[in-house]
Chains A and B, each alone.
Chain A
Amino acid sequence: MSIESPGSGVAKRSFELGDELPSLRLTLAQGEIADFVHAANQAAPRFISDEGARADGLPGQIAPGNMSLAIFSRLLDGIAGAEVRRLSATFRAFVQPRIPLVASGVVTDVENGDGGTLLHCDILLETETGDRLVTGTATLFLPNDT
């Protein structure tokens, strides 16, 4: 999978409402989705090929929901040292190969505690043209001592 990202993680330690997570730009290849579902032991025909998907009444090959969650996990990894405490998603439309995608996130609330900071984030997986495919929220914990 070809992902354009700003690096292995932003080392920023102080966040406020409205701060952006480093976004990811990617395009899934058909073979990458097939490889993913084989590795995840969920090799249903709709995830393997366009023909298999059309036999299920779908417009073409689609990526499984947990592959979108994996993309979100990669997105959240953009903040160095942060632990993912919670991740949830709503699947609004099919994620398909060959379509340029953008995964983005923004901090919607910050809770400062004794051991660190909780960052509540909205996360989106959209097409480059702005169609929302998967939406979600996540909570990250940023320990004080990292």
Chain B
Amino acid sequence: MILDLHAHTDASDDSRASLEGYLKWLQKKRDVVPVDGIVLTEHRQWNPDVDYRSLEDRYEIVILRGAEVETDYGHILLYGVTDAMARRFDFADVHLDAQQVVSEVEAMGGIAAPCHPGRPTIGLCEHYEVKGALEGVRAVEALNGGSRRGENERVEDLMQRHGYKGFGGSDAHLVSLIGICATEFDAEIHDVDDLVRELRDGSYRAVDFREQVRAARA
């Protein structure tokens, strides 16, 4: 099963894509971007009230939710977000303590995974060089669809050195970029509990559809 674990809708201030735009695109482009589901990881926010079940049924695409928060070690994706987590951490705070986020999110039943680690300033690699490693990180975003040349390559070394698992996400902010990088899980994932369980202990790998998207557009 293939999920795009990192996508932003226009609920994020820098995205220009609607959720339904993503779903229409994936429905039409399934031969090029064979993604079964997406995880919405809006910047610095958690809205407990949204319900996407009717859209899931209409488009037959799994829609899960997480968040992307900003810390002293760069940006971190949170999966398995709960209201208790959102009360514990001010998601709008751009200076969250990364070690607290990683440790406490894990203790509260979720998983915190640094995204685009190879990116200057907001990626984990640069912070590790200066401040040392965080404890308790299980997985990082090995493949980010918005990364520039060299950024994803830096992550391979990070993963080998620290034994991290790697997953993929498009980091889409535009409709046509959804699903270009994603994660293939060996297990079926139907809800956030499945997702957290698999990210912690399951078998998965980053998958890259950028070349086949380019080939289809050529």
A17-B24, A17-B28, A106-B217 are contacts. A122–B174 as well, Cβ < 8 Å?
yes
Q: Judge if B14 is at the interface, Cβ distance under 8 Å.
A: yes
Q: Which of B29, B173, B214 contacts A18 (CB 8 A)?
A: B29
A90-B14, A122-B176, A130-B210 are contacts. A18–B28 as well, Cβ < 8 Å?
yes
Q: Which of A20, A109, A131, A136 contacts B21 (CB 8 A)?
A: A109
Contact A135 B148 (CB under 8 A): no
Contact A108 B210 (CB under 8 A): no
Q: Which of B16, B24, B25, B149 contacts A129 (CB 8 A)?
A: B149
Contact B28 A137 (CB under 8 A): no
Can you list 28 A-B pairs with a CB-CB distance of less than 8 A?
A17-B24, A18-B25, A18-B28, A18-B29, A20-B217, A88-B16, A90-B14, A90-B16, A104-B217, A106-B176, A106-B217, A108-B24, A108-B25, A108-B175, A108-B176, A120-B21, A122-B16, A122-B175, A130-B149, A130-B210, A130-B214, A131-B149, A132-B146, A132-B148, A135-B173, A135-B174, A136-B16, A137-B16
Q: Judge if A44 is at the interface, Cβ distance under 8 Å.
A: no
A106-B176, A122-B174 are contacts. A131–B24 as well, Cβ < 8 Å?
no
Interface size class of B (residues with CB under 8 A): 10 to 19
B interface residues (Cβ-Cβ under 8 A, vs A):
14, 16, 21, 24-25, 28-29, 146, 148-149, 173-177, 210, 214, 217
Size of A's binding interface in residues, CB under 8 A? 20
Residues of A near B16 (CB, < 8 A) are 88, 90, 122, 135-137
Residue of A whose beta carbon sits closest to that of B210: A130
**Which residues of chain A in 97-146 are interfacial with respect to chain B, using CB atoms and an 8 Å cutoff?**
104, 106, 108-109, 120, 122, 124, 129-132, 135-137
